[in-house]
Amino acid sequence: MTSDDALTVVVAAHNESEALPILHPRIAAALDQLQAVESRVLYIDDGSSDGTWQLLQALAASDPRVSLLRLSRNFGKEAALTAGLDHVDRGAVLILDADGQDPPELIPQFVAKWREGYDDVHGTRTLRDGDSWLKRTTAHGFYRLIGRLSKTPVPADTGDFRLLSPRSLAGLKQLRERHRFMKGLFGWVGYNQVAIPYQRQPRVAGTSKFSLWTLWNFALEGITSFSTAPLRVATYVGLVTALVAFAYAIWIVLKALLWSDPVAGWPTMMVVILFLGGVQLIALGLIGEYLGRLYEESKQRPLYLVDAWRPAAGVSSAQMAVEGVGDAYGTPAARVENV
């Protein structure tokens, strides 16, 4: 076996102590079926407060394939996944939700596609049984919108359930931006992509961590991280408004000169003032969104901090030298002592 014949299943978990005991045996069973691939599992505890870490430690004690990583607090799924991917030192990775919505039983199919030469094998949801009507329609609308706005391809109805080949993973690790819209980042990496249709299951236990408001913010994140189209919209709205205003000005002047009717109506004036004020505020808000993101990026903070790193036997305990990560930990020895 070469170092490329390894597969690590990466699972970010935030307060998933109910779901993980159901999920792990399913992952283990799927990995047992893999031939000629050295398989591992890496769980990232994203600042859980419900005993997830204790549970994960028990899992690691009973299964030598399991590595554990705990972040210093809840950093959010995207950062937790990034932390996990940074700690995979070789082979391919497969990203899975902790709640069983992405069925681990499909792992052998994903691996088969990777073996055929694909670099990015992603699960595309045909059915979202586990999600509400509102979530399904808003998600659908979002994928259509981002698909039109973004120059980077973002496959529709595709979440984070995917396998990345070693070179795709290496590519992804180089993207160190703070605002992480993972679906877009995967698309940016490129290489040979293939979709595997699957039915999204309901959560096996626990509740979703994503409210509609978080999803809305997530959508904003996606659009502003991968497209500057809204800024251009502001330009065009401004242009059109200026043209209309110009035509209207000519009309007022002509009216005053030809029919000596100098005083325009109060309602017209109010409408014009309010309209222009509104357009300006929207444009300012848009610029603010981008400026805010620029500010966040310019701070160059690490994407996450590690509290504990417990590599399984055979996994390198050293941290990959990835820019923007190294400083965050202290020395590798200090990290292992933390456990």
Give the interface with ligand UDP as residue ranges (CB under 6 A): 12-14, 16, 46, 74, 76-77, 80, 97-99, 101, 208-210
Residue 45 in the binding site for Mg ion (CB under 5 A) = no
Site for Mg ion in 97-156 (CB under 5 A): 99, 101
Contact between 92 and 110 (Cβ < 8 Å): no
Query: For residues 277 and 16, what is the distance between their CA atoms, to the nearest angstrom?
Result: 48
Residue closest to 182 by CA, chosen among 77, 332, 321, 315: 77
Q: Is 276 helix (H, G, I), strand (E, B) or coil?
A: helix
Query: Given the complex with ligand UDP, which of 46 and 120 has the nearer CB atom?
Result: 46
Q: Which of residues 41 and 286 has its CB atom nearest to ligand UDP in the complex? A: 41
Pairing of strands 158-164, 92-97: antiparallel
User: Mapping DSSP to helix (H, G, I), strand (E, B) and coil, where does residue 9 land?
Assistant: strand
DSSP 3-state of 207 = coil
Residue 77 binding result from Mg ion, ligand UDP, none, given CB thresholds of 5 to 8 Å by partner type: ligand UDP
Residue 31 interacts, among Mg ion, ligand UDP, none and using kind-specific CB cut-offs from 5 to 8 Å, with none
Q: What is the DSSP letter of 202?
A: P
Of these partners, Mg ion, ligand UDP, none, which one is at the site of residue 12 (CB under 5 to 8 Å by kind)? ligand UDP
- CA-to-CA dists, residue 178 to 81, 159, 300, angstroms: 13, 19, 8
Q: How far is the CB of 172 from ligand UDP (least distance, A)?
A: 17
Nearer to Mg ion, 101 or 168 (CB): 101
Which residue number, 74 or 152, has a Cβ lying nearer to ligand UDP? 74
Indicate which of ligand UDP, Mg ion, none lies near residue 223 (CB less than 5 to 8 Å, by partner kind).
none
Burial class (CB in 10 A: 0-12, 13-18, 19+), 268: exposed
Q: Which is nearer to ligand UDP, 95 or 325 (CB)?
A: 95
Q: Which does 158 bind (CB under 5 to 8 A by kind): ligand UDP, Mg ion, none?
A: none
Q: Which positions touch Mg ion (CB under 5 A)?
A: 99, 101
